[in-house]
Chain A
Amino acid sequence: MSGFAKPLKIALLLAVVAGLIVVPMNFNRYGLFILSQWAVMTIAAMGLNLTLGYAGQVSLAQGAFVGIGAYAAAIMTTHGWPLPAAIVVAIVSSFAVGWVLGYPALRVQHHYLAFVTLAFSTLAFLVFRNESWLTGGIYGISNIPRPHIFGLATNKPLPFYYVCLGSLAIVSVAVWWLIRSPWGRAFMALRENPLRAQSLGVDTRRYTLMAFAIGSALGGVAGALYAPLTQYIDPVPFNLSLSLDLLMMVIVGGAGFYFGPFLGAMIAVLLPEWLRFTEGYYLMLYAIAVILLLIWSPTGILGILDRYMAARRTKAASALRAVAKSRLETAQ
C-alpha cells in the first residue's frame, strides 16, 4: 500500500471505519447479520493470514479452530458464564491446540503439511459430531445467549454487530502490532528462507509453533463470536469447507498483505449475496470470478495494487535516472 501519502491513508482508514459504524444503522436484520458475519470471518482469516500469508505455513484447519472457539463459547455461555470469559477460554484452548498442531510443521512442509492439517480438521469435526455429551452431537447447541456489555444487552442485531466490529478492531490493532514487531519480521523470514533465518539466530522452531498457535487463537476468537451471532451451532458449519473458504479468503484478498483478509472475507461473504439475483447461477459465477482473478493475479486483489505501485515507483525512479543522465551528458 506504500505510495499513497500517509495523511491520505489515515483519512481513508477513518472514513471506512466511520462508514462501518454509521451506515449499518439503517440496515435490516439480515444485512446486519451478513455484516457481522463479515467481521467474524475477517478475524478468522486474519489468523490464517498470519500462519499462511506471513509465516508461510499451510493450514487447512482454520475452520476447526473456529469450531473449537464456537463450542467453547456455546457450552460456557449456555451454562451461565459471561462471553468474555468464554472468549478467554476459546483463545487459550485454540492457542494450545494450534501449538500442538504446529509440531508436524517442524518436520513437513507445503502440501504434506496441508494433508496433516486436513486430517486434523476431520478429527475435530468428528469430535464435534460424536462427543454428544459435550457438544450436543448432530443436534448441536441452541439458545446461545448474546452478552451484556457494560450492562447493555446486545440481543438485537445492531448492538451485537457493534460487538463483532469492536472485536475486529481490537484484533486488527493487535495483528498490526504483531506483524510490524520483530516477530512479524521473523515470521516473514520463515516464509522466505528458513535456512538463512536459522543461521541468523532466528529460533525457527519456536516461531513456527507461535505462528500456528497465534493464528489458531484468532480462529478461536472468531468462533467465540460466531456462536452468539447465530445463537445455534451444530458441527456442519465447521467442517472442511469452512477451512477451504477461509483459505480462499486469504488467497483472494492477498496472502501476506495486511488488508487481504478484510477484502477476501468481504468477497466471500458479500459477493454471493449480491449475486443472488442470478438465482441458481450465483455459485457458478462466483467460482468463475475467483478463477479469473487468480489467473490474472495469483497474489490476490492486493497483489494487483502492489504491482501497480511497484510499476509506478520503477517509472518514477527511471525518470529520475534519465534526468540525472542527461545532466551528466550536458556537463561533459
Chain B
Amino acid sequence: MSAVLEVTNIKKNFGGISAVDGVSFDVREGEILGLIGPNGCGKSTLFNCILGQLTPSSGEVKLDGKTVTGLRPSELNKLGVSRTFQLLQVFPKLSVRENLILAGQEHQGNMASRLVGRSDAGLTGAADQMIGFFKLDHLAAEPAGGLSYGQQKLLDAAMAFMGGPRLVLLDEPAGGVNPSMLADLKDRLVAINREKNATFVVIEHNMEFVMSLCSRVMVMAEGKVLAMGRPDEVRKNPAVIEAYLGH
C-alpha cells in the first residue's frame, strides 16, 4: 500500500513553546489512522500544519509524493484533502442543503463557470444524496444554525465528503454526539472508507470509538510521537498507559 500522506519532521513553535516537536508519520492509502493523546499534546496543531491553516516552523508534508507544505487550505482542499473541525463549523444561516452545495461547488468548473452557470452548480442531487446518507432528510431546508449539536456535527462531517476527497482529517468527530448517533456516524465513516476508498485520520478521545474504527493508532504526548501501531498493541504499551490512558 502506498502512502497518501507523508509527514516528515514537522515542528511548530509558538514563541518559546514547541507545540509540535518533530513529528513524522505516514498514512497509507485506504486506512483509518487514529490520533490520540492528552489535551494540549499538539494533535490539532499538527492537523492545522498539515492542512495549511498554520505554517510549520520546519518539516515537510507530502501528498501522493508531492510536497504540499505551505499551500493554502483552499488549494489543499482542491487537491482532495478535506477536514472537519473540533468546534462546530457550519454556516448557520444557510440551509442544510445549501451548506452541502457550498461544500462541493468549488470543485465544479472554474470561477467564470460558477458565475454564469447553474445556481446550484449542479449539486442539488449530490447534496440530497449526502443528506440521505447522513439521515438528515427532514432537515434539508432548515437553517443549519437551528440543528441540534449532534446533527450539526453530522452535517460538518457530511460537508467534508462533498468534494469527493481522497484524504479526510477529522478532529474529534464524536465529541458531544450521543451514543446512537455515534454508532450511525461510525457506520457512515466505515461505509465511505470502503466504498470510496477514502483515507481518514481521526483525532478522538472516545477510546471505544477509536479502537473499533481505526486500523492503526498514533499516540502523541508533549508534541512528540509516543507510539504507533495496531489498536491492541497501543493499548498495552506502558508509556501510553502512563501518559494518556491511565491505569
Residues of A within 8 A of B (CB): 178, 180-183, 185-186, 188-189, 192-193, 195-206
Expressed in whole angstroms, the Cα–Cα distance for A177 and B61 within the complex equals 40
Report if A192-B111 is in contact (Cβ < 8 Å); known contacts: A186-B106, A200-B159, A201-B74: no
CB-contact partner of B91 in A178, A188, A201, A204, under 8 A: A188
**Bound-complex Cα distance A258 to B53 (A):** 33
* Contact assessment for B115 and A200 in the assembled complex, using a CB-CB cutoff below 8 Å: no
Q: With A180-B119, A182-B101, A201-B78 given, name 6 new contacts (CB 8 A).
A: A181-B114, A183-B114, A192-B91, A197-B91, A200-B106, A206-B111
Q: Separation in Å of the A33 CB from the closest CB of chain B?
A: 36
Asked whether B94 lies within 8 Å of A188 as measured between CB atoms, the reply is yes
B121 engages A182 (CB within 8 Å): yes
Interface of B is mostly: loop
In the complex formed, the residue of B with least CB distance to A314 is B146
Q: A182-B119, A183-B115, A185-B102 are in contact. Are A198 and B94 (CB under 8 A)?
A: no
Is the CB–CB distance between B93 and A188 below 8 Å? Answer: yes
Task: Identify which of A182, A189, A195 gathers the most chain B CB atoms within 10 Å of its CB.
Answer: A182
A199, B51: Cβ atoms closer than 8 Å: yes
Q: Mask for B161-182, Cβ within 8 A of A = 1, else 0?
A: 0110000000000000000000
Residues of B within 8 Å of A199, CB to CB, are 51, 53, 73-74, 77, 82-83, 85, 89
Contact B117 A196 (CB under 8 A): no
Q: Min CB distance, A325 to chain B, in Å?
A: 15
B102: nearest residue on chain A (CB-CB)?
A185
Given contacts A185-B98, A186-B102, A186-B106, contact A198 B73 (CB under 8 A): yes
A185 and B73 within 8 A (CB): no
Could you tell me if A196 and B91 are in contact, using CB atoms closer than 8 angstroms?
A: yes
In the bound assembly, the distance between CA atoms of A258 and B98 in angstroms comes to 17
Question: B107 on the interface (CB 8 Å rule)?
Answer: yes
**Interface-centre pick from A181, A186, A204, A205 (highest chain B CB count, 10 A):** A181
Q: Report which of B72, B92, B103 forms a contact with A200, defined as CB distance below 8 A.
A: B103
A196 touches B74 (CB 8 A): no
**Cβ of B55 < 8 Å from any Cβ of A?**
no
Is B105 on the interface with A (CB-CB < 8 A)?
A: yes
A193-B102 Cα distance, complex, nearest whole Å: 12
Other-chain residue from A188, A189, A196, A197 in contact with B85 (beta carbon distance below 8 A): A196
User: Given B77, B101, B115, B163, which contacts A178 in the complex, CB threshold below 8 Å?
Assistant: B115
For residue A192, which residue of chain B has the nearest CB? B91
* B221 at interface, CB cutoff 8 A: no
Chain B hits for A198, CB < 8 A: 53, 72-74, 77
Count of interface residues, chain B, beta-carbon cutoff 8 Å? 35
**Residue picked from A185, A189, A193, A199, most chain B C-beta under 10 Å:** A199
Q: Does B90 contact A (CB under 8 A)?
A: yes
CA distance A183 to B116 in the complex (A): 10
Can you show 19 pairs from A to B with CB atoms below 8 A apart?
A180-B119, A185-B98, A185-B101, A185-B105, A189-B91, A189-B102, A193-B90, A193-B91, A196-B89, A197-B91, A198-B77, A199-B51, A200-B82, A200-B102, A201-B106, A201-B107, A201-B163, A202-B106, A205-B72
Contacts of A203 in B (CB 8 A): 72, 74, 106
List of B residues within 8 angstroms of A186 by Cβ? 102, 105-106, 114
**Chain A residues in 8 Å Cβ range of B82:** 199-200
Measured in the bound complex, the distance between the Cα atoms of B74 and A204 in whole Å is 8
Docked CA distance A202–B53 (Å): 13
Tell me the bound Cα distance from A185 to B116 in angstroms: 14
> Which B residues lie within 8 Å of A197 (CB)?
91, 102
Residue among B74, B89, B107, B119 making CB contact with A181, cutoff 8 Å: B119
Contact between chains at A182 and B105 (CB < 8 Å): yes
A205 contacts which chain B residues (CB < 8 A)? 72
- Please measure, in the bound complex, the distance between the C-alpha atom of A114 and the C-alpha atom of B85, giving whole angstroms: 30
Q: For A204, list chain B residues within 8 Å (CB).
A: 74
Q: Contact: A192 with B94, CB < 8 Å?
A: yes
Q: Bound state CA distance, A311 and B101, in angstroms?
A: 26
Given known A-B contacts A189-B102, A200-B163, A201-B74, A182 and B114 have beta carbons under 8 A apart: yes
Residues of the A chain whose Cβ atoms lie less than 8 Å from the Cβ of B106: 182, 186, 200-203
Report the Cα distance A63→B117, complex, angstroms.
32
CB distance from B168 to the nearest CB of A (A): 11
Chain B residue nearest to A256 (CB atoms) is: B93
CB closest residue in chain A, given B108: A182
When the two chains form their complex, are residues A192 and B92 in contact, meaning their CB atoms are under 8 A apart?
Answer: yes
- Which A residues are in CB contact (< 8 Å) with B103? 200
Q: Is A196 a contact partner of B90 (Cβ separation < 8 A)?
A: yes
The 8 closest A-B pairs by CB, nearest first: A201-B106, A201-B77, A196-B89, A198-B73, A182-B114, A192-B91, A182-B105, A180-B119
Query: Which chain B residue shows the least CB distance to A196?
Result: B89
Closest chain B CB from A240 CB (angstroms): 30
| Distance between Cα atoms of A186 and B159 in the complex (Å) | 14
Taking CB atoms, residues of chain B closer than 8 Å to A195 are 53, 85, 89
Would B91 and A181 count as touching, CB distance under 8 A?
A: no
Q: Indicate if the CB atoms of B114 and A200 lie closer than 8 Å.
A: no
Assess the B119–A200 pair: CB atoms within 8 A: no
Question: B101: shortest Cβ distance to chain A, in Å?
Answer: 7
* Smallest Cβ-Cβ distance to A184: which chain B residue: B119
